[in-house]
């Protein structure tokens, strides 16, 4: 049975070009700085994002944590959106490992109101923790891959500069944001001090993320990576895939965005899902189950039996993620499977 996996873009398999590149990658010990392929990937990533330097890290979670460790001191507070990946899905590493207190703020579609950020920045007071960092997420995962507009990012940056605070971007899917905005990714990165982005999601590498920033930030970050156990040795076999991700997997992201819009409107047609096709800007579709006799967990099990893997987030909420291993035909096939597992009494 062919599987159509809509659970996440983390499930993408390496391309055949990646397998070839892995087999012939020139490698060395990257903890000594001796891996030429990792060095090439880091230079390429820094150049693409328009920053001085880059660091290859094993995962997005580690990249965000390293950024937080590097920007802040224990006991400080960071401002972040309350549905952000760092706050919701990173096992509280901020508190446990970085010793940083979080100050979550609600932000529809990932956008915390600028006035709310401003109000959350701590004034001098003997009782208060010090604000050490502002973090934003683009695209915003839980909000359905929504995109932060460049003007919004400029305002966050302006406020942060005026208060002498760094801004970190969780840009796990920043290339999806750039494609959706029709802009060079540099125009997003220029508004923040550091960006973490993932090679292992829509860009199809098997493993790895990148942290970029200025040279002194990346030098400190390298030490934090070592502390967390993320210093890899002959990592060139992985970095070889990352180079292909950056050089040839970005332009095709627009296909995933088109397929996501198609999926959102077709889901609506089934009569059992509520989606907002016009709000789908990138590769993630959030859907609410609109059927009194269905439960998202049960439905996802039935779909899995028929080869369609989906992510049920609660009894009524689904997330579907499009990526290079799901074609337009697969989207149509998935919809027909959904129609076939509908119960007789479904709408």
Question: By C-beta, is 137 or 266 nearer to ligand TLP?
Answer: 137
Q: Which residues are at the interface with ligand TLP (CB under 6 A)?
A: 8, 10, 59-61, 64, 85, 89, 137, 141, 170, 172, 198, 200, 209
CB of 269 to ligand TLP, least distance (A): 26
CB of 332 to ligand TLP, least distance (A): 23
Q: Is the peptide bond before 228 cis (omega within 30 degrees of 0)?
A: no
CB of 207 to ligand TLP, least distance (A): 9
Question: By C-beta, is 196 or 291 nearer to ligand TLP?
Answer: 196
Nearest-10 crossing angle of helices 328-341, 253-270: 20
CB of 200 to ligand TLP, least distance (A): 6
What burial class does residue 84 get, using C-beta atoms within 10 Å of its C-beta: 0-12 exposed, 13-18 middle, 19+ buried? buried
How far is CA 268 from each of CA 113, 121, 263, 286, rounded to the nearest angstrom?
31, 42, 9, 11
| Rounded Cα gap, residues 200 and 207, in angstroms | 5
Task: Region of 145 please: left (phi>0), alpha (psi -120 to 50) or beta.
Answer: left
Q: Mapped to the 3 state alphabet, what secondary structure does 30-49 carry? A: HHHCCCHHHHHHHHHHHHHH
| Rounded Cα gap, residues 279 and 347, in angstroms | 24
Question: By C-beta, is 35 or 170 nearer to ligand TLP?
Answer: 170
CB of 123 to ligand TLP, least distance (A): 30
Question: By C-beta, is 76 or 205 nearer to ligand TLP?
Answer: 205
Question: By C-beta, is 102 or 270 nearer to ligand TLP?
Answer: 102
Question: Which residue, judged by CB position, is nearest to ligand TLP in the bound state?
Answer: 60
CB of 311 to ligand TLP, least distance (A): 8
Question: By C-beta, is 131 or 138 nearer to ligand TLP?
Answer: 138
Question: By C-beta, is 61 or 282 nearer to ligand TLP?
Answer: 61
Strand, coil or helix: 180:
helix
Query: How many other C-beta atoms lie within 10 A of the C-beta of residue 233?
Result: 13
| Rounded Cα gap, residues 159 and 210, in angstroms | 26
- According to DSSP, the β-strands at 209-213 and 308-309 are unpaired
CB of 130 to ligand TLP, least distance (A): 25
């Amino acid at each position: 049975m062919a599987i159509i996996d809509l659970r996440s873009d983390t499930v993408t398999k390496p391309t055949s070009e990646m397998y070839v590149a892995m087999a012939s990658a020139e490698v060395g010990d990257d903890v000594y700085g001796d891996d030429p392929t990792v060095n090439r990937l880091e230079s390429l990533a820094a150049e693409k994002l328009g920053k001085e330097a880059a660091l290859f890290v094993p995962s997005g979670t580690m990249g965000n944590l390293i950024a937080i460790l590097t920007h802040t001191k224990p006991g400080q507070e960071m401002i972040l959106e309350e549905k952000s990946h760092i706050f919701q899905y990173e096992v509280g590493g901020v508190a446990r490992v970085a010793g940083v207190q979080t100050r979550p703020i609600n932000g529809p579609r990932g956008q915390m109101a600028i006035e709310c950020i401003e109000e959350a920045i701590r004034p001098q007071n003997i009782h208060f923790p010090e604000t050490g960092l502002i973090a934003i997420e683009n695209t915003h995962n839980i909000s359905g891959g929504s995109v932060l507009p460049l003007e919004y990012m400029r305002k966050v940056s302006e406020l942060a500069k005026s208060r002498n605070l760094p801004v970190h971007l969780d840009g796990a899917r920043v290339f999806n944001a750039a494609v959706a905005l029709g802009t060079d990714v540099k125009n997003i990165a220029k508004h923040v001090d550091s960006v973490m982005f993932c090679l292992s999601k829509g860009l199809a590498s098997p493993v790895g993320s990148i942290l970029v920033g200025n040279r002194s930030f990346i030098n400190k970050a390298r030490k934090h990576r070592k502390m967390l156990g993320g210093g890899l040795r002959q990592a060139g076999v992985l970095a070889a895939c990352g180079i292909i991700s950056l050089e040839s997997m970005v332009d095709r992201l627009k296909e995933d965005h088109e397929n996501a819009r198609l999926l959102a409107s077709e889901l609506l047609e089934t009569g059992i899902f509520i989606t907002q096709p016009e709000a789908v800007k990138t590769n993630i579709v959030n859907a609410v189950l609109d059927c009194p006799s269905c439960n998202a967990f049960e439905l996802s099990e039935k779909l899995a039996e028929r080869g369609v893997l989906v992510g049920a987030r609660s009894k009524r909420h689904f997330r579907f993620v499009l990526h290079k291993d799901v074609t337009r035909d697969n989207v149509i096939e998935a919809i027909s499977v959904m129609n076939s597992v509908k119960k007789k009494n479904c709408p």
